Structure 1
Amino acid sequence: MQVDDTQFPLVFLREHEQEHTSQQTQDQLEALLNRGQRFVLLTERLGGEDRNQEESHEDRKQRALFFKHNKQRLKDLCAGMVVITQGRAIPAAARLAQHTLGRVLGLRFAFVFDEGEARVEASRFLTP
């Protein structure tokens, strides 16, 4: 996963041809949080979807610790997360899991069809 902040405050979480380690992704997220400015995360990947390479137990543990240590900063700076479905049917269990994660981290979630709708929703999240 690569953190693409070239359109900040819209920050895209993208699958990348070159494999990024979970540590590299965490470093990118840490740098994003260190900016101290509000942003919205956008992704086409729904949590729990199969990846080309499975995450190791240690990677999952490190990711969980990262989110635990940065929960308040995420709550303060991340206005929400928008999942671009591109017409895929999203199982109710997956939607519930995303919204539960949102409650735990203090984030709003939205599911939209395409990037255009994602930009509109992200702007709405960023508006106080």
Structure 2
Amino acid sequence: MHINIQEFPRVWFSNIAPSNWQQELEALLAKGQRFVLLTRELPGANEEQAKAQEEFGQWVKENHRNFRNTCAGCVVVVNNALLAFSIGFFVAPLSKKLGIPVLVAQEDNLDEQVATCLAANTTTENT
């Protein structure tokens, strides 16, 4: 997975090479500034992506407190309302697993979703 922080606090991630997600996320956590993860890709599209996502999930588990205090949410960006509705059910369990809101939004609603995530108080203690 590749992380692009050029639009911070919008942090885009994708399945393109090179893989830099761990170094970039650790640097973001060290800064302590809230951000929102964004992607246009669906989770688990193939075996290689599923393995990378499993590694990411393990990293989140190991860094849960800092990650949940710094990452305000994750938004999957899609191009139409029907797709947003159907994917919403698919990504809902990720919210619980990651401990952050995982939302689906259309491109024209992205600014609102990012602002909502950043404004929300998501700094909760892990049980």
TM-score (normalizing by structure 2): 0.76
Q: Secondary structure at the match of 2:5?
A: strand
1:76 is matched with which residue: 58, 69, 77? Answer: 69
Contact 2:72 2:118 in 1 (8 A): yes
> What CA distance in whole angstroms lies between the structure 1 residues aligned with 2:44 and 2:49?
11
Q: 1:84 to 1:60 in 2, by over 3 A?
A: closer
2:43 is matched with which residue: 42, 47, 54? Answer: 47
Q: How many residues align?
A: 119
CA deviation digits over 1:19-67, x for unaligned, max 9? 223xx321111112111111111110121224xx72485x565433311
Paired-residue identity, % = 27
* RMSD over aligned Cα atoms: 2.5
Counterpart of 1:7, as a letter, is E
Pairwise CA distance, 1:84: 0.6
> What CA distance in whole angstroms lies between the structure 2 residues aligned with 1:70 and 1:28?
14
Q: Secondary structure at the match of 1:48?
A: coil
Structure 1: where are the runs of 5+ without partners? Answer: none
Pairwise CA distance, 1:126: 0.9
Higher helix share: 2
1:14 alignment partner in structure 2: 14
> What CA distance in whole angstroms lies between the structure 2 residues aligned with 1:69 and 1:123?
27
Pairwise CA distance, 1:74: 1.5
Q: 1:111 to 1:55 in 2, by over 3 A?
A: closer
Counterpart of 1:110, as a letter, is L
> What CA distance in whole angstroms lies between the structure 2 residues aligned with 1:47 and 1:31?
23
> What CA distance in whole angstroms lies between the structure 1 residues aligned with 2:12 and 2:78?
14
Pairwise CA distance, 1:112: 1.2
Structure 2: where are the runs of 5+ without partners? Answer: 121-127
